[in-house]
Amino acid sequence: MSKQASTGTRAGRPTLYNLDRDGTLIRTILDKVTSPPNLAPTELAKLLRQHPLPGGQILPKSHLLRAYRQLCARDGTPVNAEVMRRLRVKPTRTASGVAPVSVLTKPYPCPGACIFCPGVDGMPKSYLPDEPGAMRAASYSFDPYGQTAGRVAVMSELGHQVDKVELFILGGSWSCYPEDYQEWFVRRCLDALNGSDAATLEEAQQLNQTASHRNVGLVVETRPDLVTTEEVRRLRWLGVTKVQMGVQSLDDRILALNRRGHTVADTRRAMRLLRLAGFKTVLHWMPNLLGATPDTDRADFGRLWSDPALRPDELKIYPTALLPATELVEHWQRGDYHPYDEETLVSLIATCKTLIPPYCRVNRLMRDIPAPNIVAGVKRSNLRQIVQARMAEDGLACRCIRCREVRGSAVDVDALHLDRVGYSTDATEEVFLSAATPDDKLAGFVRLSLPHAAPPLAELAGCAVVRELHVYGYALGLGTRQPGAAQHAGLGTRLLHLAQRTARQRGYGRIAVIAATGTRLYYRKRGFRAGELYMSRPA
Ligand code: SF4
Ligand SMILES: [Zn+2]
C-alpha cells in the first residue's frame, strides 16, 4: 500500500494502516506484545513480519505505537506505560534515565583557528551541513524554541518519556556568543519545555520547576581558555550544570602544531574552576592529531588520569577526522600527516579504554560525521562496537560508567551493594558513591566534591558539593513507580543521605548541590533551600 492510500492521520502525518479495516490485526499484534514477559526487539520485528497489512506491507514499530494510542483513545482506556516501553522506538535513547535533547546555536565566528576544524557557510564552526543534528537545527533556522519543541514532540511520538530533559546546547564555542543571545537562547529552550512564553530567564526557570517537561541538566560546550571566574558565575546563572570542553591533547607541542590557541595550563585552570563550582565536566580528546603517534597518544591519554588537575567526569574520544577545506588536508597532501589505519586506531582505543577509571563515563568514541565527508582514514561509524569486539577478544574490559549502566535491565533495589571510589584532584577530594547490582551493573551514583581550596563563587564557601546524582533505569513518568526500575525507588534519596553523611564525617557543616531548574523541587523535598546559584542544607 502506498502512503497515498493510507487513511488514518495523526498530527497531520499519514499512517499506513486504517484502524477500521486493520483494527483486529493490530489488536492481535498488541495482544502478543503484551503477553510474553519480555519481548525482545528482534521478537517484535518477527511478530510484525508475521502479521503484515492486507497489501503485504510490514507495520513499522512507530505506526504500531500510534495505532495503540488511537485504540486506547477509542476504547477510553489509559495508555499502559509497560506497553509503551515495549513499543518504544530506539529505546536506548532514554536508557540513561533522561531524554537528551540537542539544539544548535546559530552560525557565529569562533576565535579558534584549529587546523582540523571545518568552517562551512551557514553552519556553526566545526559542524557539517549533512550531520544529522546540524541538518535538524538548520531546518528550524537554528531557532531554539522550534528545535526543542520539535525534538520533544518526535521523542514523545516514538514512545519515550520526555518529562525529564537534559538539554545539550551545541554549536560553536558557547562563551563566544553575545550575552543577550545566550540568555535569549536558554529562555526560548525553556519556553518550549514549559509550553508558555516567559518575559525573563528567571521567570522561565521558575515555570520549569513544575512544568511537564522539566530540565534536569543543561550542557554547553566551550574552550578551556574561555573559562574564567566570571564565566563560571554566568554559566551557573543561566542554569548550566555540565560543561563540555575541547581539550584535544595534553601536550603543548601538539596543541601548538594544531593551532588550538590554548595550553595545557589553561585546561588545568579551567577544570579547577569548574570542579570547584560544582559543574560536571566532559572533556573531548583527539587521538591522531598532527604530530602525534600511537605511542604519544597512549601517553597523552594516561595524563588524563595521572594528572590530578584533570580526571574528568565524562569523556568523548574523537579520533581526528580528515575533513575537506581544512589546513590538515594540506598537511596530508604534502605527506606530513597520516591518518591511522583501522587496526592502529582500534588497538589504540582498546588500550586507552582499559585505563578509564570507574568514575568516568565515555560518551562517544567517534563524532557523527557522515563518511563521504572524510577525505581519508577510518570511516566506520560503528567504531565503538568494533572496539568492544576487539576488547572482548583480547580479554580486556572497560570499567567506565557507560559500559556498566543497567540500562533496560530490571533492578532489585534490595540486592544492590554500595561502592565507594575516592580520588584526589588539585582542589578537591572526590567521592564517587555508586549502587551496583549483584552482576556489577550500575543502578545509580552520586558525585561528591570535598574541596580543600577556596571556591570561585563565595556561596559555596565551606560546603561539600553534590556535583551529580544519577539513578538509571528507563525514564519513568514523574511520580510513577514501576517494579524493577531503578528510578523513583528511593535510590536517589539513599545515595544523597550517604553523601550527606560522608560530608558530615569529613567535617563539612553544609552540603550544596548544583541543581538544574527542573530538579529544584526534588532537592527542596529533601531539605535543600535555594541560595543565589545553588541549593544547600546542613550536612
Ligand atoms: S575552537 Fe572548536 S569551533 Fe573553534 S576552530 Fe577550534 S575546533 Fe573549531
Ligand atoms: Zn566504557
**Residue whose CA lies nearest to ligand 1 atom number 4:** 112
Residues 245 and 345 reside in one and the same domain = yes
More reliable by pLDDT, 255 or 89: 255
Report the chain's C-alpha Rg in angstroms. 24
DSSP secondary structure, 487-511, as one string: TTTTHHHHHHHHHHHHHHHTT-SEE
Under the banding of pLDDT at 50, 70 and 90, the label for residue 485 is: low
Residues 397 and 354 sit within 8 Å (Cβ to Cβ): yes
Under the banding of pLDDT at 50, 70 and 90, the label for residue 17 is: confident
User: Alpha carbon of 78 to those of 29, 35, 66, 82, 187: distances in Å?
Assistant: 18, 18, 14, 12, 34
Residues 332 and 390 reside in one and the same domain = yes
Given a cut of 50, is residue 422 above it in pLDDT?
Answer: yes
CA distance 188 to 170: 15
Residues 397 and 435 reside in one and the same domain = no
- Among 374, 404, 434, give the residue marking a domain's end: 404
Question: For position 529, what pLDDT does the model report?
Answer: 98
Q: pLDDT by residue (tens digit) across 182-220?
A: 999 999 999 999 999 999 999 999 999 999 999 999 999
Q: pLDDT by residue (tens digit) across 365-392?
A: 888 888 889 989 999 888 999 999 999 9
Ligand 1 centre distance from Cα of residue 172 (Å):
7
Question: Which residues neighbour ligand 2 (ion) by CB within 5 Å?
Answer: 362, 398, 400, 402-403
Question: For position 411, what pLDDT does the model report?
Answer: 78
CA distance 43 to 92: 17
Question: For position 482, what pLDDT does the model report?
Answer: 59
Average pLDDT value for the chain: 90
Residues 12 and 124 reside in one and the same domain = no
DSSP secondary structure, 413-447, as one string: GGG-EEEEEEEE-SSEEEEEEEEE-TT--EEEEEE
Residues 248 and 199 reside in one and the same domain = no
Residues 233 and 188 sit within 8 Å (Cβ to Cβ): no
- Among 404, 427, 444, give the residue marking a domain's end: 404
Fill in the DSSP letter of residue 44. H
Residues 385 and 423 reside in one and the same domain = no
**Residue whose CA lies nearest to ligand 1 atom number 5:** 112
Of all atoms in ligand 1, which is nearest to the CA of residue 173?
Answer: 3
Q: What percent of the chain has pLDDT over 70?
A: 92
- Among 386, 404, 422, give the residue marking a domain's end: 404
Any residues with Cβ below 6 Å from ligand 1, and which?
110, 112, 114, 117, 125-126, 172-173, 223, 246
Residues 448 and 380 reside in one and the same domain = no
Ligand 1 centre distance from Cα of residue 335 (Å):
24
Under the banding of pLDDT at 50, 70 and 90, the label for residue 4 is: very low
Do the domain assignments include residue 93? no
Q: pLDDT by residue (tens digit) across 228-247?
A: 999 999 999 999 999 999 99
Ligand 2 centre distance from Cα of residue 168 (Å):
21
The residue to mutate among 116, 126, 226, having the most atoms of ligand 1 within 8 angstroms of its beta carbon, is: 126
Q: Please name which ligand lies nearest the alpha carbon of 118.
A: 1
Given a cut of 80, is residue 13 above it in pLDDT?
Answer: no
Do the domain assignments include residue 521? yes
Do the domain assignments include residue 526? yes
Do the domain assignments include residue 92? no
Given a cut of 60, is residue 264 above it in pLDDT?
Answer: yes
List, in sequence order, every beta strand (DSSP E) within 226-346.
Answer: 242-248, 280-285, 314-317
160: left (phi over 0), alpha (psi -120 to 50) or beta: beta
How many Cα atoms occupy the beta-carbon half-sphere of 449 within 13 Å?
A: 33
Q: What percent of the chain has pLDDT over 90?
A: 66
Residues 117 and 165 reside in one and the same domain = yes
Residues 164 and 473 sit within 8 Å (Cβ to Cβ): no
Could you write out the three-class secondary structure of 444-483? EEEEEEEECCCCCCHHHCCEEEEEEEEECCCCCCCCCCCC
Do the domain assignments include residue 179? yes
Q: pLDDT by residue (tens digit) across 44-61?
A: 888 888 888 888 888 888
Do the domain assignments include residue 131? yes
User: Alpha carbon of 11 to those of 42, 70, 196, 405: distances in Å?
Assistant: 28, 12, 20, 35
Q: What is the CATH number of the domain that holds 418?
A: 3.40.630.30
CA distance 25 to 110: 56
Q: Which residues of 483-505 are buried (b: 16+ CB within 10 A; e: fewer)?
A: eebbbbbebbebbbebbbebbee
Classify residue 261 as exposed, middle or buried by CB count within 10 Å of its CB (0-12, 13-18, 19+). Answer: middle
Question: For position 312, what pLDDT does the model report?
Answer: 98
| Cell numbers given for 113 | 583557528
Classify residue 333 as exposed, middle or buried by CB count within 10 Å of its CB (0-12, 13-18, 19+). Answer: exposed
Q: Are strands 535-538 and 242-248 parallel, antiparallel or unpaired?
A: unpaired
Do the domain assignments include residue 227? no
Residues 391 and 511 reside in one and the same domain = no
Question: For position 38, what pLDDT does the model report?
Answer: 65
> How many domains does the chain contain in total?
4
Q: What is the CATH number of the domain that holds 322?
A: 3.30.750.200
Q: How many of the other CB atoms lie within 10 Å of CB of 482?
A: 17
**Which of 86-95, 136-145, 158-167, 511-520 is least confident?**
86-95
Question: For position 36, what pLDDT does the model report?
Answer: 63
Residues 245 and 383 reside in one and the same domain = yes
Residues 215 and 259 reside in one and the same domain = no
Under the banding of pLDDT at 50, 70 and 90, the label for residue 325 is: confident
Q: Pinpoint the alpha helices (H) of 169-263.
A: 179-194, 201-208, 229-238, 252-257
Residues 409 and 485 sit within 8 Å (Cβ to Cβ): no
Q: Please name which ligand lies nearest the alpha carbon of 350.
A: 2
Residues 83 and 203 reside in one and the same domain = no
Average pLDDT over residues 461-476: 84
Do the domain assignments include residue 174? yes
Q: Which domain holds residue 310?
A: 232-404
Question: For position 9, what pLDDT does the model report?
Answer: 38
3-state SS, residue 485: coil
Assign 3-state DSSP to the chain and report helix, strand, coil percentages, each to 5: 40, 15, 40
Ligand 1 centre distance from Cα of residue 387 (Å):
27
Under the banding of pLDDT at 50, 70 and 90, the label for residue 95 is: low
Q: pLDDT by residue (tens digit) across 282-307?
A: 999 999 999 999 999 999 999 999 99
Average pLDDT over residues 260-267: 97
Under the banding of pLDDT at 50, 70 and 90, the label for residue 82 is: confident
Question: For position 473, what pLDDT does the model report?
Answer: 64
CA distance 386 to 180: 44
